[in-house]
Amino acid sequence: MQQHTGSAVAIVTGAASGMGRATAMTLAKDGWKILALDLVAGTFQGPDGEIEIVSVDVADRVSIKNAIDSYVAQTGASIEAVVNVAGVYPPSTLADFTTESFRKIFDINVLGVLNVTAEAVSHMERGGSVVNFASVDAFSVSPGQLLYGASKAAVVMLTKELALELAPRNIRVNAIAPGWVRTPGNETTGRMDEASKSIPLKRVAEPEEIARWVSILTGTDASFMTGETIVLSGGDVMR
């Protein structure tokens, strides 16, 4: 894992809990300064002091721009990594989806990735890395996840398109597609114990296991990798 010192900043969305929180903590331990973004402001204890969560709506590009521009102006920091973790996964089917549910899921899961990336890359003069969070549902159908699966498939294609577009600026773009992970949101489903029985490794992932792959993708070990999506499912989904 690459150790970062000085003014290198990693933006992490969805940083208040789950995989977002674990990612922010892991990157902070690697030496990154963290610009943590989530819908609700707050703080949490990092390895070297408190990390402040800035309140933004990833679907609101102006909100994102103001948060990033303000942080850079105040700190003089150099943004070198963007990790788009924020996402929602309410169930939906053809029988019950609505225009409102479609817009909410795609605004956060897809438009949010574009908004944060677009506003961050203008500050990535030295190049860097973008890591998007897709899902195994982008590759394998989950009953009752009509819109969520479609939104995460869109993230996989956005990752490829952005990798091609940003390569001349020395910005790499990759994605992670987690399966079942022990997050607060997944805990509420009551389905993890049953789901783990069908996973070849017979368990779900811990958020820190997923976060370590973000550390790899933002470091020098993945310096020749771009446009790829890594599936982390314990063998539940193989490509």
Q: What is the pLDDT at residue 72?
A: 96
Per residue in 98-122, pLDDT (tens digit) is 999 999 999 999 999 999 999 999 9
Average pLDDT score over residue span 171-197: 84
- Residue 3, Cα to own-chain centre: how many angstroms? 20
pLDDT grade, residue 184 (50/70/90)?
confident
Report the first-to-last Cα separation within the chain, whole angstroms: 26
What is the rounded average pLDDT for all residues in the chain? 94
User: Does the pTM of the predicted model rise above 0.85?
Assistant: yes
Residue 104 half-sphere exposure toward CB, CA atoms < 13 A: 10
Q: Quote the tokens at residue 224.
A: 């020749």
Q: What is the pLDDT at residue 183?
A: 80
Least confident span in 132-136, 184-188, 205-209: 184-188
Q: What is the pLDDT at residue 190?
A: 66
Per residue in 187-220, pLDDT (tens digit) is 666 677 788 888 999 999 999 999 999 999 999 9
Which residues lie across from 53 on neighbouring strands?
36, 42
Catalytic residues: 148
Q: Is the pLDDT of residue 4 over 60?
A: no
CATH class held by domain 8-232: alpha beta
Q: What is the pLDDT at residue 182?
A: 86
Do 149 and 142 meet the contact criterion of CB atoms below 8 Å apart? yes
Q: How many residues in the chain?
A: 239
Backbone angles phi, psi at 179, to 5 degrees: -95, -135
Do 232 and 205 meet the contact criterion of CB atoms below 8 Å apart? yes
Per residue in 149-171, pLDDT (tens digit) is 999 999 999 999 999 999 999 99
Per residue in 87-96, pLDDT (tens digit) is 999 999 999 9
pLDDT grade, residue 74 (50/70/90)?
very high
Which residues lie across from 172 on neighbouring strands?
129
Backbone angles phi, psi at 72, to 5 degrees: -65, -40
d(CA 88, CA 108): 7
